Structure formats: structure tokens, C-alpha cells
Amino acid sequence: MLFLTILIMACGKKEETKAEVLRPVKYTEVTYSGGEKVRNFSGTAKTEKIINLSFRNTGIIVMLDMKLGQQVKKGDLLAQLDNVQARLNYESALESKNSAESQMNTAKLSLNRVRTLYEKGSASLSDYEAAKNSYRTAVASFESAKRSVSIQAEQIKFGYLYAPENGSIASVVAEVDENVSPGQIIGVLNAGTAIEIALGLPESVINNVNKGMKVKVSFTAIPNKQFDATVSEVAPALDQNTSTYPIRVTINDNDEAIKSGMAANVMFEFGMEDQVKRELVIPAVSVGEDGESRFVFVIEENQDKHIVKRQPVTLGALTSEGFLVTSGLEAGQKIATAGLQTLLDGQQVKLN
């Protein structure tokens, strides 16, 4: 009985598992001295000139020479319509022109005959004036028919789509045998060589931004690299949809790694144009000391996990903003600002 009782208790005991509790850590980002004057805003990269490709006529696509990433030159034939309706209209206009020309020639012969009779006194002045009016009307009809033929000939040309600029095909949204209408987009051409960043700024900083202002741009998809850029456009009015002032920033460097649509971070430095030397600064509470050197705990992100890494640093003078950093850190890195004595190198934490 004792054995059975022990066995039942052992089987009924559930295995207890302890959930890992992550320590919350306060943190800050490494910034430059005067960091309150440095602001970062997010935007999206795109080429400076994007052209939506479309026909100016209606019809069925019978030829389409466009592929994603395809490099094209100005004047290359990209697509063609069947042009059935345009050709029918052209032939109809041509027949109308021939008919109007025949009527004009007949009216001219009639005018010449009436003029001869009038000069001989065999026709009245009213007959002569009527003949002249008929001829003028026939001439006007003929000229109108000629213009109609010219217009219909242009309509046939509208069934051919040529590349308006040098560039690369960014999008193709139509297929051969598809019936399209005038203005319907069938593709997108990236025709610009420079990359622009479109973003919106709040009213609190917009008056500090001017056309020609120098900024720095970084991309999430291009780590550890910054690009020089210049503010190229500043909107004078608020965008009601975003409640921000739209601006454009043009990147000065050409780099094939930058693709249209990439998320960008634009760094503005307000009131720092006259500052020759820029120094990194960190709060004093983020610095630890072990008797041999000073260190900080850098927070690294790895597969949605935050790991603290002990990082030795070389510091300069202590200012009202904190310690100036000589070496060991870079702008934008996250560092812990509390509990340095109990943090362990490689420990997983959660940001607080």
C-alpha cells in the first residue's frame, strides 16, 4: 500500500517549468554634442523623375517590349496597339477629304461659268454672288477635311508608345492582347539619375529648413553607411493628409545600392553649421568603471532579441551633456543607462 501511494503521487506530480524573465533596461542613443539640435526623420527614396507610360489612344496591345529592370533609350518602341479604330477613322476622313475636294472643284467650275455669263450680261449679280459663296463654302469644307485627315493620321501615331527618356523600366502592368484605354498606365519608367527622399516635417522645425541645406541620409537596407544630401524642395503649405510640410532631399552621391522605394532616415543638424568639430556625448550614468578602464553596455538587436555587450570606451571631458567620447562608440548605437553593476556581458534584456 505504501509503495502504491508513492507511485501515484509520483505520477501525479507535474513538471514545473520556469519562464525566463527578461530584465528591463533603460537606454539612450549615442548622439553628438548639441544633440538636441540633431533631428532624424523617416522618408522614402525614389528616382527624381518617374514617368507613367500610357497610350493616347484606345485599342488592343499587339506588341509589348517592356520587362522589369530593362534599360531603354529615348525613342525606343516599347508597345504598339492594333489601331483598328484609328485606321478606320483615317480612311473615313480621307474619303471625306476626297469628296470635299470634288465638291470644291465643281463649285470652282460653276463659279467660272457664272462669271463668264455675268460679264456677258447673261447672268445676274445675285447669281454671281451665290456662285462665289458656294465656292468659298466648298473651299472651307475642303480645308476642314484636310485638317481632319491630319488629325486622324496623328491618332494612328498615338497607337505607338516610345520611350520619352533614357531610363529603366520599374513596373509593367499590362499584357499583350489586353484592351487599354487612353491614359491607362501600362508601365512605369525611372528616368532620373539622382535619388530623392520624400518626407514630411512638423511645423516645429520647418522654419529651420531651407533649400540647399546639407543633411545626412542613411538606409536600413545599407548598414554602416551615410550619404551626403541636399534639401532640394520645401513646400510652403501644410499637407492636410499628413499634417506635415512635404520636402524633398536629393542625394549627392550616386550609388547603385540605393533603390527606389527604400526606407530612409534623414538627419538634420539645426544651428550647427558653424560648428567645426563634432563630438559624441553620452550620459554620465551610462559609464561604468572597473578600476582598469571605463565601459558601457551596448544594446545589440539579434533576431528580435536584445543583447547587452560590454564595450570599453575612451572618454574625454565631462560636460553639461555628459562625457565626450573619444573612441569606442558610434552615433546611433543604443547603450544602457541604469543597473550597470548587475548587467552581464551577453545577457538578454528587454528595452524599457
**Could you give the 3-state DSSP secondary structure of residue 256?**
coil
Q: Which domains does the chain have, with CATH numbers?
A: 23-32+278-351 (2.40.420.20), 35-48+193-269 (2.40.30.170), 56-81+160-190 (2.40.50.100), 84-157 (1.10.287)
pLDDT given at position 146:
93
Cell triple for 229: 544630401
- Between CA 205 and CA 78 the distance in angstroms is 45
DSSP string covering 41-60, please?
A: EEEEEEES-EEEEE-SS-EE
Gap between the Cα atoms of 343 and 25, Å rounded: 9
Residue linked to cell 483598328: 84
Q: What's the grid cell of residue 21?
A: 524573465
pLDDT tens, residue order, the chain (352 aa) = 555 555 555 555 544 445 567 888 888 888 877 555 678 899 998 887 889 999 988 889 999 999 998 999 999 999 999 988 888 999 999 999 999 999 999 999 999 999 999 888 888 999 999 999 999 999 999 999 999 999 999 888 899 999 999 988 988 999 999 999 999 999 999 887 788 999 999 888 898 899 999 999 999 888 888 899 999 999 999 988 888 999 999 998 878 888 888 899 999 987 654 444 568 889 999 999 887 889 999 999 877 788 999 999 999 888 877 899 999 998 889 999 988 888 899 899 888 7
Q: Which residues pair with 348 in a beta bridge?
A: 307
Please work out, in degrees rounded to the nearest 5, the angle formed at the alpha carbon of residue 88 by the alpha carbons of 83 and 92.
145
pLDDT of amino acid 203: 87
List all residues 6 or more positions away from 118 whose beta carbon is below 8 Å from its beta carbon: 124, 125, 127, 128
pTM over 0.75: no
Q: What is the DSSP letter of 294?
A: E
Residues 6+ apart with CB under 8 A from 85: 58, 59
Nearest to 44 by CA among 245, 261, 292: 261
Q: Report the residue count for the chain.
A: 352
Distance of alpha carbon 230 from alpha carbon 213, whole angstroms:
6
Q: Is 336 in contact with 26 (CB distance < 8 Å)?
A: yes
Instruction: Give the burial class of 240: count Cβ atoms within 10 A of its Cβ; 0-12 exposed, 13-18 middle, 19 or more buried.
Output: exposed
